[in-house]
Amino acid sequence: EFIPLAITSLGGAITLGLMGIITPKVVFSGLSDSTVVLFAGMFVVGAALFYTGLAQKIGETVVSHAGTSENGLMLAIMVVTATMSAFLSNTGTTAALLPVVV
């Protein structure tokens, strides 16, 4: 793609703000939503898991115990997720396991 998606998605709102059509508060109001902050945090955690190799280690451990069958892998991921959710928030568990599953 010629222009990255992040630039394209914010470009319209920023342009309207610079032209004075909408206020600066309206330009950035969508970025203060908790969902946007959640996804940004998940990307940071996911990148950290990849950078440190922890995602690879968790994935290898799951595959070594569950094998390569689809049902076995699904069961293993469900057990790991349930165990982590018992001690962590669901959001934190999702952020930690998303890179492993993908």
**Where do the structural domains in the chain lie, given as residue ranges?**
52-101
For residues 101 and 55, give the distance between their C-alpha atoms in angstroms, rounded to a whole number: 9
Per-residue pLDDT averaged across 12-23, rounded?
A: 90
Widest Cα–Cα separation across the chain = 59
Q: What is the mean pLDDT of the chain?
A: 83
| pLDDT the model gives residue 8 | 83
| pLDDT the model gives residue 19 | 93
Token representation of residue 60: 């290898």
Among 14-18, 27-31, 74-78, the range scoring the smallest mean pLDDT is: 27-31
Tell me the pTM.
0.53
| pLDDT the model gives residue 100 | 76
- The distance of Cα 75 from the centroid of its chain, to the nearest Å, equals 22
| pLDDT the model gives residue 21 | 92
For residues 77 and 41, give the distance between their C-alpha atoms in angstroms, rounded to a whole number: 22
| Residue 22 CB coordination number (10 Å) | 15
- Dihedral sign (CA 47, 6, 92, 56): negative
